[in-house]
Structure 1
Amino acid sequence: MARKKRRTLHDEEEHVDESWLIPYADLLTLLLALFICLFSMRTEDQAKSDAMMEALYKAFNTISVFETSSGGQSPSNTSFTDNKDNAEKLPNPIDSSKEVPKEDTDEKKLQDLMVKLQNYIDVKQLNAEIQLTDMDEGIQIMLKDKIIFDSGSDHIKPNFFPILDGIAEMLLTVENPIKIEGHTDNQPIHSAQFPSNWELSGARALSVVHYLQTKNINPVRLNFVGFGEFKPLHPNDTVENREANRRVNIIILR
């Protein structure tokens, strides 16, 4: 009986499971590797730390490849420093937020034109005959008819040509459309050429359009309208008011 019992104990000792030693050994290996890395990254040895970081970068961030003599592909030897230099050479992206909107540029040109026109009027001492106004519609140049036309006529006076030439030259500095308006007072006109103030106001506006076209202003920019006596500035009850109502407006539209 004693001999049989010893055989059983021996059998149990032969079947002891020792598989836990493998993961335990792996854990010790990983801990050793960790301590080696921590030791090599000591702050007092900055050169070794930088060298290791560059080696890691090359190992894990290599993009370009080249063919080896065996026909396979191997990572290139591009260094971390080279990649950094190439990144610094890249042009800065354009900041689209700093681009000036076209509407702002056009408005600035229009305001510059108004300043030039006012200076021109001041130099020529024409403030009594020409009035400049900044309206929502655009920049309006109001011309009293007495400096442009004879009474009942749609022919531009020859002595007004130089003044209109100066205005036309400044109008070439912008590309805005231009509207020409003709206005009269309420005094009726009955002639073979102009049965009413409608025809007279329209013909006067058209005369200005034709003249501006001869000064190289694109006709696509030009349009005209005759309002007759129906858009007066003042009541037609005095000589002065009727004179103010007879006018031609050149409007540089926004």
Structure 2
Amino acid sequence: MSDVESRSSKRRKLVKSSPVHASGKDRWILSYADFITLLFAFFVALYSLSLKNSDDEKRLKESLQGVFEAVQKSVKPINIGEPIVGEPKDAELIESIPIPQEAADVEEDQSSAVYALLSRLVEQQFSGLHQTGQIQVSESADWVSLEMKSALLFGTGEYELTNEAVALLIMVANVLKAYPSAVIVEGHTDNLPVNSPRIGNNWNLSSLRASSVVDELVYRGMNPAMVAPMGFASEHPKVRNTNDFARQQNRRVVIRISKRRADNLYDYLFK
């Protein structure tokens, strides 16, 4: 046998002995993930049906919607306070305060209604967070402010909302839809440098966090023309950044709701 024929024979043997690539050999992972999701939904349904003093059918529907439809913003949620199941009770709060009809009373009544709703929402639904200072409602001559500590909304150095943050913002969005106003979402950080090359600095981090809150509010039905994010980095601290506790107070997101009527936020700010 010549050298050429010998090399050709070896190549044919190598080709025959090479394994055939199975492009779909890992597709079982998708089926397994679907099975785990359905199994989780089954146990959530059992848990919902076991709850007492509530409407089983309604709770079952809410729980399943939470499994299949809720947007999971974080794989590492920060568990603070009691877990939140399904849609909260903010609809009842909104219905208890009528929307004013007289044009002369709209501005004053609306601002007082927003403050009353947010205050009751925080006290009734998030009393533990309110007592620990994680969430606060206040008002001034021009604004109603909802302040939330960053640890409640985001992981350390992150700007993606946790599941707890999404549940909270669903309720806030319902209030803002019932009483539409110009809204500014402020992002604030401490003075420590950001330890992440993909974020860069505190200006980026504060802006991205404010934008994440705005995205969620708009996703939940708020008019995008009435809301905008602003990042202030560490330039407007509540207290001096002298220790870890002080820095924790400065890491926050503030939703400011105007008391004055406006057709859109741009005209409200610049015209």
What whole-Å deviation, never above 9, does each CA across 1:102-124 have from its counterpart, x for those lacking one?
A: 4x422211111211111111112
Whole-angstrom CA distance in 2 between matches of 1:228 and 1:179: 15
Between the aligned partners of 1:109 and 1:137, the Cα distance in structure 2 is 12
Q: Which runs of 5+ in 1 are unaligned?
A: 1-98
Matching residue of 1:219: 224
1:172 equivalent in structure 2: 177
Identify the match of residue 149 of structure 2 among 144, 149, 154. Answer: 144
Deviation at 1:100, TM superposition (A): 5.4
Tell me the equivalent position of 1:34. none
Q: What is the Cα deviation at residue 198 of structure 1?
A: 0.3
2:232 aligns to what SS in structure 1? strand
CA distance in 1, matches of 2:137, 2:185: 14
Match of 2:257 in 1: 252
Aligned to 1:106: 107
Residues 166 and 216, structure 2, Cα contact 8 Å, conserved in 1: no
Residues 136, 193 of structure 1: CA spacing in aligned structure 2 closer, same or farther, 3 A cutoff? farther
1:191, CA displacement in angstroms? Answer: 2.0
With the length of structure 2 as denominator, give the TM-score of the two structures. Answer: 0.55
Question: Cα deviation per residue 1:153-205 (whole Å; 9 max; x = unaligned)?
Answer: 00000122211111111111112111000000001114222111000000000
Extract structure 1 runs of 4+ deviating beyond 3 A: 99-102
**Partner deviation per Cα, 1:81-134 (whole Å, 9 max, x = no partner):** xxxxxxxxxxxxxxxxxx9554x4222111112111111111121312111111
Question: Any gaps of 5 or more consecutive residues in structure 2?
Answer: 1-100, 260-271
Percentage identity across paired residues of the two chains: 28
CA offset at residue 207 of structure 1?
0.3
1:161 and 2:161 correspond? no
**What amino acid is aligned across from residue 119 of structure 2 in structure 1?**
Q
CA distance in 2: counterparts of 1:101 and 1:220, whole angstroms: 22
- Match of residue 200 from structure 1: 205
Q: Find the aligned partners of 2:207 and 2:108 in 1 and give their Cα distance.
A: 29
Distance 1:201 1:137 in 2: 23
Q: Distance in 1 between matches of 2:165 and 2:213?
A: 11
The residue identity in structure 2 corresponding to 1:112 is A
Q: CA–CA distance in 2 between the matches of 1:120 and 1:159?
A: 15
Partner of 1:115: 116
Post-superposition Cα deviations, 1:60-96, rounded to whole Å, max 9, x if no partner, equal: xxxxxxxxxxxxxxxxxxxxxxxxxxxxxxxxxxxxx
Aligned to 1:146, the other structure's residue is in SS state helix
Following TM superposition, by how much is the alpha carbon of 1:210 offset from its aligned partner in structure 2, in angstroms?
A: 0.5
Aligned residues: 155
**Residues of 2 paired with 1:193 and 1:114: CA distance?**
38
The separation in 2 between residues aligned to 1:137 and 1:195, in whole angstroms, is: 34
- Rounded to whole Å, the distance in 2 between the matches of 1:187 and 1:137 is 31
Query: In the alignment, which of 194, 197, 217 is matched to residue 189 of structure 1?
Result: 194
- What does residue 137 of structure 2 align with? 132
Give 1:226 shift.
Answer: 0.2
* Contact 2:157–2:195 (CA under 8 A) maintained in structure 1: no
Aligned-partner Cα distance in 1 for 2:230–2:174: 22
Q: CA deviation at 1:209?
A: 0.5
| Larger Rg over CA atoms | 1
In the alignment, the residues of structure 2 paired with residue 184 and residue 240 of structure 1 have an alpha-carbon distance, to the nearest angstrom, of: 13
Q: Which amino acid aligns with 2:118?
A: L
Give the Cα separation in 2 of the matches to 1:100 and 1:141: 27
* Residues 159, 209 of structure 2: 8 Å contact kept: yes
